[in-house]
Chains A and B, each alone.
Chain A
Amino acid sequence: MTRASILLLALLVACATIGDETDFPGPLQTSGVGPFRLLDEAETGTEFRPDARLVRPQGAYGRAMVAGDRIFYDLAPVVDDVPDRAEGLPEGDIDLAQVGPFTIRRGARVAGDDAAPFGFEPGAEVLAATETWEGDSLRDPWAVESRFGAQLYYAAAGGIGMAAAAELGGTFTKAAGPLVEDARAPSVVEWEGELLLFFEATDTGTLGLARSTDGSTFTVETRELPLALAGEGALAAPGAVVAPSPTGRSILRVYFEVFDAEGVRLVSMAGTDDLSTWDRLETGVLGVLEDARGPTPVLLEDYVTVLVATAPFESRGVQLRAPVGAVAPSSARLAPEAM
C-alpha cells in the first residue's frame, strides 16, 4: 500500500512537468473605436489594390454603405471627354466636371462557398435624380430596414430625400421631399422605437439630428450636435450604428469626418447611451487609410465592426474614389460564418 501510494504520487508529480505556456492576453474590443485594420484580399475577394476595395472600380464613388447582404453606393461615370482638373481643388476631391451625374446603385454580396466574406458584385441603378428639388445627382445613400419597411435615404441638391420599398432588394418609390433641407449625408438608425436621422448640416458644417416616428416625416431636433472638440473644423458625413454591448446596453455610435486642429481630415467617432450626453473620441479611427471619407459602420458577430469608407485612387489621370473596408478590433478576421 505504501509503495503504491508513493508510486501514484511520483506519477502525478512527473506528469505535472508537462506544462504549457500561454501568451499574453489577446486584445479585446467591443467599442468599435479602432484602430481599424484594412481588410485584405482574402476578406474582400477583390484583386484590386488596395486590397480593401469592396467592389470593382467603375467610376467615382461618393459613399457606400452595407445593409444586410447588399451594398448601396452612389456612382458617377467618368465623362468621355475629360476636362483638365480644376485648379485649387483639394487633393482627394472628385472634380465634378470630370464625371457625370451620380446615381444610387445597389450591389449584392458575392455568393458561393468560396466567396470572400466581404466582397460585393457591382449593382444596377436603383435611384436617379428625377425631381426638381434634387438637381442632377443623388448621393450618399443610406438604406435601413425597420418596422416601417425598407427605406433608402439619399442626399440631393435641395436636401435629404427618401424612397421606400417592401424590402431592401425591392423597387424603391420616392416619397415627397426634401425631408430635411440644407443637409446631406443622411444616416438613419432605429433607437427606442424612433428613427433617428443624423445628417451633415451644409450651412453650418456641423452634424444634426432629426427624429421620426413613421420614417417618412422628420422633426429636426438640432443642427449642431455637441461633438466637435476645441479647435476642430467642420464635421461631416455621419455614419451611425446602434451597437449592443455584451452587458446588455445599447450604444449609439456615430462615425464622421472631421478636420482636426491642424487642419488634417480624419475619421473619428462619438458615442452615447442616452442621446443626451456624448463621449467623443479624441483620435482618428482610420489612421491606416489616408484621406478616408464617408464612414459607414457595419456590425458583425462577436462585436466586430467593419467601417466602410471611400479612399482616393486615380484612373487615366482622373482623381476618383472607391469604397474600401476596415475592421476593428484589428485582430478580428472576417469569415463567412461571421457575416
Chain B
Amino acid sequence: MVKRIAPLALLLGALAALALPGEAHATPPDTHGFFSRSISLGGAVTADVEDASANYYNPAGLVRSGQLRLSIGYMDVHHFLELNGQRSDVERHGALIVGLVAPVNLGDARFAFGLGLHLPDQRLARTRSAVVDRPRWEMYDTRPGRIYLATNLAFSPVSWLTLGVGITFQAPSELTLDIRGDADAFMPDTQSRLEHQFRGDLTSIRYPQAGLQIRPHEMISIGLAYRGSFELRNTIIALADANITGVGEPIPLDFSLVAITTSMYGPQQASLGFAFDPTSRLHFSVELTWYDWSKHPSLIADQEIILRADPPPGLNIDIPDEITSLEPLPLGLHDTWVPRIGVEVGLVETDAVQVDGRLGYVYENSPFPAQTGILNFVDNDKHTFSLGFGLTLSDLRPTLPGTLRFDVHGIYSYLPARDHVKTSTVDPVGDYRSAGHLAGGGAALEIAFE
C-alpha cells in the first residue's frame, strides 16, 4: 500500500491553489460610468463632455468650458443576478467619485488639467481567483472593485478643436510566500516547526488615453476618444524549503512555484460620438464604442512548478514525478460595438435656476461566448436605461463666483436570459441559465468657478 504523507500533500495543495486563474476586467467606469450627468445620458458624451467626467470619457473636453470645476459624487449599483433562478449574491458596488478640471491660459493657448478618481467604498482593490467549476458573473463580481485614477491634459489650439491626452493608473502585485522548517509527517499539528514569510508589493502600471472634440457648428459637436489596453499581471511566488520528519531520517523537500496571472484586463477601446443641440433647451447625443475584447489573454496562470524530494530507500512515499501546470485556456472573447444614446431637455430655465431632465440608453452585447466548455465566466447582454435630473444655480454671488450644479441619476439594466449549454453531458457543472437585473443611482455636486 502506498503511504501518503499528509503535510506534503497539504503543503503542495496549498501552494498550488495560489496559482488559480484570475479575472477578466476592465475599469469601474467602463462598467458603471463616471459621474451622474454622463451616466444619465447613457455615457453618450464623448462629443461634448466638459465637466469632470471628461477625465474618463474624453480628456479633450477638459478645456472646453474654460472653467475651474470641482466635483464630488457618489454612485451605488445593486446586482440582482441569477443562475437557474437562484440569486448569485454578487455584492453591491458603491463608490465615491471625485473630479477636477483646472484651466490654464498660456498666452492665447488654452490648456486644462484634469483629475478623476473613482474610490470604491468597500475596499480599495479586490482580486479573487476564479474557480473553474464555479460559475461567476465575470463583469460584476469583482470587476468594479478597483480604484480608478486618471490624470489628463487638454489643449485647444483653435476655437473649434480641443485635444486631450492622459494616463490612468492601476496596481499589479507581486506576492512571495517563503516556508522553511520541519514538517512532521504524522503529527503535523504538534510536532511541526515551520516558519513562513510573506511579502507583497503593489507597484503601478499606466496606460494612455486620448481624445479630440471638433465643433464645426455651434449646434454640432463630434468627439473621438481612445483608451489603451492594460493587463495587470499578478505574480505569486511560493517557495518551500522544508524537511519532512517523523519517518526516520528527515526528508529534504524543495518546492518552488512561480505563477504569473492576469488578474485584470482592460481592452483598448475607441468611441466616436455626435452631439446635436437644435435649441438651447434640447440636446441629443449618440455614440458608438468599440471594445477590443478579442485580444483578452488567457486567465489561466502561466506557472512553473518544481518539486524535489529525496526519500531514503525503502520508504514508500507517493511523490508525483511531474506536477502538471495549468494549461492556458482561450476565453474566446469577441470584440463588441456598444451604441449609446442620450437626450437632455431643459425643463426650467431662468437667470438663477436651470433644471434639466436626462434620458439615456446603452446596449452592451457580451464579449463572452456562452460557456459551453470547462470555463464558467458568466456574462449576458445588457440593456441599460438611465434617467437623471440636474439643478444648476447661477446667481450665487457673492457667496460663489460661479455655478453650483446638483445632479442625480438612476439606472436600470436588464440582462436577458442566456443559456449555457455544455458540450459534454457529464460536464462538472452542467447546463445553466443566467439572467438578471441591475439597479442603481447616484448623485453629484459640481462647483464651477467663472
The 8 Å CB contact of B425, one of A29, A248, A253, is: A253
Q: Does B437 sit at the interface, judged by CB under 8 A?
A: no
CB neighbours (8 Å) of A24 from chain B are: 128, 131, 134
Q: Provide the residues of chain B in CB contact with A245, threshold 8 Å.
A: 421, 430-431
Which of B84, B406, B421, B444 has a CB less than 8 Å from the CB of A303?
B84
Q: Give the Cβ gap from B92 to chain A, nearest Cβ, in Å.
A: 7
Given A12, A22, A31, which contacts B428 in the complex, CB threshold below 8 Å? A31
Q: Does A228 lie at the interface of the complex (its beta carbon under 8 Å from any beta carbon of B)?
A: no
Given A2-B396, A21-B122, are A30 and B429 neighbors across the interface (CB < 8 Å)?
A: yes
Q: Check if B445 sits within 8 Å of A29, measured CB to CB.
A: no
User: Are the C-beta atoms of B400 and A2 separated by less than 8 Å?
Assistant: yes
A16-B429 contact, Cβ under 8 Å, with A28-B135, A302-B84? no
What are the interface flags for B417-450 relative to A under an 8 Å C-beta threshold, 1 for contact and 0 otherwise?
A: 0011110111111111100000000011100000
B141 within 8 A of A: yes
Is B89 part of the contact surface with A, judged by Cβ < 8 Å? yes
Which residue of A is nearest B441, CB measured?
A12
For B258, list chain A residues within 8 Å (CB): none
- Is A126's beta carbon under 8 Å from chain B? no
Please determine whether B425 and A273 come into contact, CB atoms closer than 8 angstroms: yes
Partner of B430, one of A21, A30, A252: A30
B88 interfacial contact with A, CB 8 Å: yes
> Contact check: which of A28, A29, A248 meets B419 at CB < 8 Å?
A248
Contact B74 A28 (CB under 8 A): no
Give A281 to B86 CA distance when docked, in angstroms.
Answer: 27
Q: Are B430 and A29 in contact (CB under 8 A)?
A: yes
Given A22-B89, A25-B135, do A31 and B427 touch, yes or no (CB 8 Å)?
A: yes
CA distance A279 to B406 in the complex (A): 60
CB-contact partner of A19 in B72, B122, B141, B420, under 8 A: B122
Q: Do A17 and B121 have beta carbons less than 8 Å apart? A: yes
Contact B399 A2 (CB under 8 A): yes
Within 8 A of B (CB), among A1-52: 1-2, 5-6, 8-9, 12-13, 16-17, 19-33
A30 touches B426 (CB 8 A): no
Q: Is the CB of B84 within 8 A of A249?
A: no
CB pair A28–B431 under 8 Å, yes or no, is no
Decide yes or no: A28 and B426 within 8 Å by CB, A16-B74, A246-B431, A246-B433 being known contacts: no
Q: Is the interface of B mostly helix, strand, loop or mixed?
A: loop
A247 located at the interface, meaning its Cβ lies under 8 Å from any Cβ of chain B in the complex: yes
Stretch at the interface among A163-171, A189-197, A264-272: A264-272
Question: A247: which B residues are within 8 A, CB to CB?
Answer: 419-421, 431-433
Cβ-based interface call for B117 (8 A)? no
- B393 contacts A2, C-beta separation under 8 Å: yes
Asked whether A26 lies within 8 Å of B428 as measured between CB atoms, the reply is no
Let me know if B133 and A251 touch, CB within 8 A. Answer: no
CB contact under 8 A between A21 and B396, given known A31-B422, A246-B433, A271-B425: no
- Chain B residue nearest to A22 (CB atoms) is B91
Chain B residues with Cβ below 8 Å from A26 are: 89, 134
A22 proximity list for chain B (CB < 8 A): 89-91
Find chain A residues with CB under 8 A from B266 CB: none
Residues of A within 8 A of B426 (CB): 31, 33, 253, 269-271, 279-281
B55 to chain A, nearest CB (A): 19
Q: Please judge, given known A-B contacts A28-B134, A247-B419, A270-B426, whether A20 and B84 are in contact too, CB under 8 Å.
A: no
Task: Answer whether A28 and B432 are a contact pair too, CB < 8 Å, given A17-B121, A247-B419, A249-B421.
Answer: yes
B76 nearest in chain A by CB position: A16
Q: Is B358 an interface residue (CB 8 A)?
A: no
Q: Does B267 contact A (CB under 8 A)?
A: no
B94 within 8 A of A: yes
Residues 72-86 of chain B, each 1 if its beta carbon lies under 8 Å from chain A, else 0: 111010000001111
The residues of A that contact B445 with a CB separation of less than 8 Å are 5-6, 9
The residue in chain A whose Cβ has the minimal distance to the Cβ of B404 is A2
Q: Is the CB of B443 within 8 A of A12?
A: yes
Partner of A246, one of B95, B133, B432, B443: B432
**A303 vs B86: C-alpha distance when bound (angstroms):** 12
Measured between beta carbons, the chain B residues less than 8 angstroms from A248 are: 419
Q: Do B92 and A5 have beta carbons less than 8 Å apart?
A: no
Among B76, B86, B445, max chain A CB count under 10 A is at: B445
CA distance A19 to B96 in the complex (A): 13
Q: How far is the CB of A217 from chain B (nearest CB, A)?
A: 29
Residues of B within 8 A of A281 (CB): 426
Which residues of chain B are within 8 angstroms of A16 by Cβ–Cβ distance?
A: 74, 76, 94-96, 121
Measured CA separation A248–B417 after assembly (Å): 13
A273 to B426, CA, bound (A): 11
For residue B409, CB closer than 8 A to chain A, the reply is no
What residues of chain A lie closer than 8 Å to B89, measured between beta carbons?
A: 22-23, 25-26
| A336 smallest CB distance to B (angstroms) | 19
Instruction: Collect the chain B residues with CB atoms within 8 Å of residue A271's CB.
Output: 424-426
Q: Does B136 contact A (CB under 8 A)?
A: yes
Q: Is the CB of B131 within 8 A of A30?
A: no
CA distance A75 to B272 in the complex (A): 76
Give the shortest distance, in Å, between B184 (CB) and chain A (any CB).
27
Residues of B within 8 A of A279 (CB): 424-426
Q: Which residues of B contact A1 (CB under 8 A)?
A: 393
Q: A12-B74, A19-B94 are in contact. Are A31 and B425 (CB under 8 A)?
A: yes
Q: A2-B393, A272-B425 are in contact. List 7 more A-B contacts (CB 8 A).
A: A6-B445, A22-B91, A28-B84, A31-B422, A251-B431, A279-B426, A303-B430
Instruction: Report 14 cross-chain contacts, Cβ distance below 8 Å, ordered by A residue.
Output: A2-B396, A5-B404, A5-B445, A8-B443, A9-B406, A25-B135, A25-B136, A29-B429, A30-B84, A31-B429, A246-B419, A248-B419, A271-B425, A303-B84
| Interface of A toward B, CB cutoff 8 Å | 1-2, 5-6, 8-9, 12-13, 16-17, 19-33, 245-249, 251-253, 269-273, 279-281, 302-303
**Top-8 shortest CB links A-B:** A31-B430, A271-B425, A30-B430, A19-B122, A245-B431, A247-B419, A22-B91, A281-B426
Binding site for A on B (CB under 8 A): 72-74, 76, 83-86, 88-92, 94-96, 121-122, 128, 131, 133-137, 141, 393, 396, 399-400, 404, 406, 419-422, 424-433, 443-445
